[in-house]
Amino acid sequence: MIVVQALVNGLVSGTLLAVPAIGFTAMFAVLRFPNFAVSGVATLGAFAGYLAYGAGLQMAGSLAAAFVAAGLAGLLFDKIAHLPLVKEGALPAAIASIATGLVLENVVRLGFGNEPRGYDRPIARDVFFGEIRVSPQQLETMGLALALMLAVFAALAFTRIGKAMRATADNPDLAALKGIRPERIATLASLIGMGLVGVGGMLLGLDSSIDPLTGTRILVSLFAAAVLGGLGSVPGAVLGAFLIGIAEELSVLVVGSQYRAAVGFVAILAVLTLRPRGLLGERAF
């Protein structure tokens, strides 16, 4: 029974993790560098959502605030710091993005200090399915995360912009030849990708508390989800996030909760050794 409960918990945290993982991997697919600023952006999103929720907005409105704040901040730094460096290779841009993450983390620290803060959510009784316990809050955040994911998939599959993004990720030169403007696609990728990362930071902070290191704490799980599914693959990131979420919860039963964060690292090493292109390969979508 404990195992089933862990599986359910893993499914919940995997759903939440999938949101920022999609953002990270989609940005990688289009912009061609691993954007490590996700740590700071996730923190920023969590705090923007916290402020909006404290100001009286509903959950959906607060998540929208997190999306907008994180998306704009991510876009700004991509334009001024990262994208000009990508021409020289992925590494300088990746290094600059670490600095960006640190900038955002410390901006939050300047404003809010290091003390953990909790979203003041109404207390509700847990729901039981047989012996499996789920809280209504978990169900709500999971539902919102799923709705967001569906929206992203629908946009990529059916809208013109979504198709243009997939084309650019697949072959930038060919896409440009077809009249797709690469800068516009890059802008959208930064905005939406980082927006999703910000929402992810808030979703993952909802059940516990948030502080300036919130984003840093989810970093390894986030990378693991993206690498496991295949860096640059959006469905891969979702699959990877579920697997990592479940593996982390199961690991708690075996080695205790303090090594949760190591699960992601072990998964990365294992997948790079056994199946270097990830479970679903690196094709974008």
Partner 1 sequence: MLSYLLFIATIGGIYGLLALSLNLIWGGAGMVNLGLAGFFAVGAYASALLTTAGQAPIAAGWLVAFVAAGIAGLTVTLSTTRLREDYLAIVTLGFAEVVRLVAANEIWLTRGTDGISGIPGPWKRALGPDFNGVYFLIVLGVLLVVFFVVRRIDRAPYGRALRAIREDAQVAEVAGKNVLRFKTEAFALSAAIAGLAGALYGHFTSYIAPDLFLPLITVYIFLAVASGGTGRPAGALVGAYLVMALLESSRFFVEGIPGVTAVQRAALKELLIAVALIVVLRLKPSGVLPERIPPAPRSS
Q: Which residues bind partner 1 (CB under 8 A)?
A: 28, 33-34, 36, 80-81, 84-85, 88-92, 94-96, 98-100, 102-103, 105-107, 109-110, 113-114, 216, 219-220, 223-224, 227, 231, 258-259, 261-262, 264-265, 268-269, 272-273, 276
Least Å distance, CB 96 to partner 1, is 5
CA distances from 27 to 11, 87, 144, 206, 252 (A): 24, 16, 22, 25, 31
Q: Which helix (H) or strand (E) holds 133?
A: strand 132-134
Answer for the pair 137, 206: CB distance below 8 angstroms, yes or no.
Answer: yes
Angle at 38 between CA 166 and CA 45, to 5 degrees: 105
Query: Of 62 and 100, which has the nearer Cβ to partner 1?
Result: 100
Query: Of 76 and 174, which has the nearer Cβ to partner 1?
Result: 76
Query: Of 191 and 271, which has the nearer Cβ to partner 1?
Result: 271
SS3 assignment, position 213? coil
At 266, list the tokens: 């072990």
Query: Of 3 and 91, which has the nearer Cβ to partner 1?
Result: 91
Least Å distance, CB 111 to partner 1, is 9
Burial of 103 (0-12, 13-18, 19+ CB in 10 A): middle
Answer for the pair 283, 240: CB distance below 8 angstroms, yes or no.
Answer: no
Query: Of 63 and 226, which has the nearer Cβ to partner 1?
Result: 226
Q: Specify the amino acid at residue 28.
A: F
Least Å distance, CB 94 to partner 1, is 5
Angle at 128 between CA 124 and CA 132, to 5 degrees: 120
CA distances from 135 to 214, 253, 271 (A): 22, 20, 33
Query: Of 54 and 84, which has the nearer Cβ to partner 1?
Result: 84
Query: Of 64 and 95, which has the nearer Cβ to partner 1?
Result: 95
Least Å distance, CB 261 to partner 1, is 6
Angle between helices 136-158 and 182-206 (to 10 degrees): 170
At 280, list the tokens: 């679903």
- 3-class SS letters over 266-280: HHHHHHHHHCCCCCC
Query: Of 95 and 134, which has the nearer Cβ to partner 1?
Result: 95
